[in-house]
Structure 1
Amino acid sequence: MIRRAARAGLFVLLVLSLGLTGLAALRISRDPLIRPFVDAGADQIAAAMEQAMAQEATPERLTLVMTRLLAEEPRNWLAIQAVEAVAEERRIALPEALVVQRAAMWEADSSYLVQAGQCATCVWDAGTCTISTALICNAPIQLTPIGDVVGLTKAGSAWATGGDVDEIDLGLSIIGLGATAAVLASGGTSFTLKAGAGMVKLARKMGILSPRLVGMIGDVIRRGVDWQMVGRMDFSDPAKLIRADVVAPLASVASDLGRMGARLPMGETLHLVRYVDDAAEARRLANAAEALGPKTIGAVEVLGKSRFLRATVRLSDVAVQVGVGLVGLLLSLGGVLGGLAQSASLRVLRRLARDPVASR
């Protein structure tokens, strides 16, 4: 009686497991947007990042990262100072020789004459800008509608005369002006899009955009811009120059960079742009920036991009359901098979017990 009840229970568990697994699989098959990992919440990101930093932010790791940053040309003092902040927070003393080297390099890089020369070069060629000089010398133009108007004018003139059109600069200028108009009309709700588009323009001129992101932007602009209107230099309504559905991935990246800029200083946001390969990574970096605030740069430098981004996602509910269903299914199958094996063994033993002669 007890064995029958146990078998019935295992059978019910097996049916439930099959049903749960099948339901989850059906949802996944019908909805391609369902993924095993989804964006984590702010508290989850903060907790996961703290755990990762506790493991990775060792004296050896911080020394290695600082040595690499000091060897770069030009040096990224924003990243250097962020790593120093991590060391201070965790009460880790960097090697004395490294501290002396850092002080000497700061003295060399921060002199007035050096900064003045860098600024003049940065204004002329944004590709020579460091993050610090870009914010002082180039951002006042690139991050305002003035830079967008200049970009549209250059593109229209080049198109009309048969010259080479800087498609990426044009597309970002169109998005920037369109967002500016939306800001004025909506009272500011499109500000993050405008700020992000300007940030991408500046990062692109500095040469710090990833090749994948540059490729995506170029493809979007080629397919999403009405080049006939550009040729007529009809910029009266920038929104009419683009196909919103095609430009959506680029607009998403720009909006997420704008979210970063709303939480972090402009220089830190510009630093993070180099880690963006696509819209999904821009969103996850923005989520992390909103959760971590001023600790974002130090965390990404110490952990590296891959480990940093892993801390911004969690298992989806569907993935958990599938996992639970599979575990239950395996346990149920194991129980059923074990019960069948036990029953078969008992039958053999009873048969042998009834006929001891045959067993000899």
Structure 2
Amino acid sequence: MRGTGAWRKLTRLILLMVLAGSLAGTALTAARIAADPLLTPFVEASKDQIEAATEKLLITAATPETLHAHLANRLAETRRNWLALDALVDLAYERKIPIDSALNAAVQTAREEDHSTYATLTSCAACAYDPAQCALSQVMICQAPIALTPIGDIAGITRAGVTYASGGEVDQIDLALSVVGLGATAAILASGGTSGLVKAGAGLAKLARKMGRLSPRLVDMAVDAARTGVNWAALPGVRNLDDLTAAIRTEAFLPLTNTLTDLNRLNTATDATTALHLLPMVDDAADARRLANAADALGPKLVGRAEVLGKARLFRATLRLSETAWALGAGLVGLLLSTASLIAGMIQHALIKRLRTSLKRSAPETAQKPPAGILRQRG
């Protein structure tokens, strides 16, 4: 019995040591994550990992019902998005999912209507007059020559200066994007990437803004940059790049600059039309980077997968658990297991102790009553 008791004490001691070690390891890992922003539970996945993760998600997401619903929704749009429609059709063929005959016929009819000579000419004219009327397939022809060159940036800054001087309401979004575009051309705001990358990203963002394809958070980022980073009193006097440098606070534009840099990575991995289509998914620099990583991994397949998976699942596929996360998880598992083992041991010890007490209490009562056979013999 003494050996058994000593063994139980040793077991409890070992469990307490394991518990203390797990608690210390977990606390240390959590403290490292809190102290160092570079130590995050998630890190960027490789191209192969992104591709494998999206394929796994498509098993449950790309069902015939889902694809048919997405195709029907895109067909019902006023200005049909043929980039998205073609990507969905390609995804159906890729995964050997037959398209309903009636839906397939509707797609072909709509294609003939939208790509006729008359429809192309009239829609291009409307696009040249009002960028909000542009289809994605036309905007690069009708609007890009101005938006993607310094001409549009100079005009935007000049327009803002004249409007401010006359007491009018300045378009702060256009001003911020024009400042970034022209500043990148002069290498003033190129710290987030090369000047060419920043300028191209700013040009795409200006086109997207005209088409109403900037996310609300990206719009807020541009407005905040203009509000806090522009010397409004000096703005009307901007005539050259030296004047621009003196009229802006560079650091206020860096979040917007970094975001636009990764937008051009997306453009490089796919094309400008695809980048414009996917821009509503971008809220900040982290979103732009994840989308660019997905584009690098998936290439032309990105649009179809983005249509079916949506932003949350697509972006989740671009991340993987870091070594820090595995260490934290292992510490938590060890902490839970050792805690459970210690509690189980304490409960077991309490039950055994209670059982022994009950047996000791019943033993004297049994000893006081002589066996029935002895009483009969005496009688």
Q: Given the two structures, how large is their TM-score scaled by the length of structure 2?
A: 0.87
Distance 1:178 1:351, change over 3 A: same
Which residues of structure 1 form unaligned runs of 5+? Answer: none
Q: After superposition, where does 1:154-173 map in structure 2 within 5 Å?
A: 154-173=159-178
Counterpart-to-counterpart distance in 1, 2:317 and 2:159: 42
Q: Which residue of the partner structure matches residue 342 of structure 1?
A: 348
Distance 1:319 1:79, change over 3 A: same
Q: Which residue of the partner structure matches residue 374 of structure 2?
A: none
Counterpart-to-counterpart distance in 1, 2:264 and 2:365: 83
Counterpart-to-counterpart distance in 2, 1:33 and 1:50: 29
Q: Which amino acid aligns with 1:86?
A: L
**Cα offset for 1:5?**
4.1
Counterpart-to-counterpart distance in 2, 1:354 and 1:158: 97
Q: Which amino acid aligns with 1:23?
A: L
State whether residues 186 and 241 of structure 2, in contact with CA within 8 Å, keep that contact through their aligned partners in structure 1: no
**Cα offset for 1:228?**
2.5
Q: Quick check: 1:177 aligned with 2:186?
A: no
**Secondary structure of the corresponding residue to residue 314 of structure 1:** strand
Distance 1:8 1:118, change over 3 A: same
Counterpart-to-counterpart distance in 2, 1:104 and 1:358: 98
2:53 counterpart (36, 48, 51) = 48
Q: Quick check: 1:275 aligned with 2:281?
A: yes
Q: Give a deviation string over 1:94-119, Cα, whole Å, max 9, x none.
A: 01111111111111111122212211
Greater shift in the superposed pair: 24-33 or 38-47 = 24-33
Q: Which residue of the partner structure matches residue 330 of structure 1?
A: 336
Q: Give a deviation string over 1:165-202, Cα, whole Å, max 9, x none.
A: 2221111111111212239x99x933221111110000
Q: After superposition, where does 1:188-267 map in structure 2 within 5 Å?
A: 189-237=194-242, 238-267=244-273
Q: Which residue of the partner structure matches residue 71 of structure 2?
A: 66
Q: Which amino acid aligns with 1:262?
A: T
Which residues of structure 2 form unaligned runs of 5+? Answer: 1-5, 367-379
Q: Give a deviation string over 1:190-228, Cα, whole Å, max 9, x none.
A: 322111111000000111112222122112211112223
Distance 1:9 1:156, change over 3 A: same
**Secondary structure of the corresponding residue to residue 114 of structure 1:** helix
Q: Which amino acid aligns with 2:180?
A: I
Counterpart-to-counterpart distance in 2, 1:96 and 1:239: 60
Counterpart-to-counterpart distance in 1, 2:142 and 2:232: 32
Q: Which amino acid aligns with 1:11?
A: L
1:315 counterpart (312, 321, 324) = 321
**Cα offset for 1:323?**
2.6
**Cα offset for 1:352?**
5.5
Counterpart-to-counterpart distance in 2, 1:91 and 1:359: 82
Q: Which amino acid aligns with 1:333?
A: T
Counterpart-to-counterpart distance in 1, 2:273 and 2:113: 21
**Aligned sequence identity (%):** 48
Q: Which residue of the partner structure matches residue 20 of structure 1?
A: 25
Counterpart-to-counterpart distance in 2, 1:267 and 1:287: 17
**Secondary structure of the corresponding residue to residue 320 of structure 2:** strand
State whether residues 160 and 171 of structure 2, in contact with CA within 8 Å, keep that contact through their aligned partners in structure 1: yes
Q: Which residue of the partner structure matches residue 143 of structure 2?
A: 138
Q: Once superposed, what is the RMSD of the aligned Cα atoms?
A: 2.4
**Cα offset for 1:316?**
3.9
Aligned pairs, number: 358
Q: Quick check: 1:82 aligned with 2:87?
A: yes
**Cα offset for 1:339?**
2.0
Q: Which amino acid aligns with 2:151?
A: I
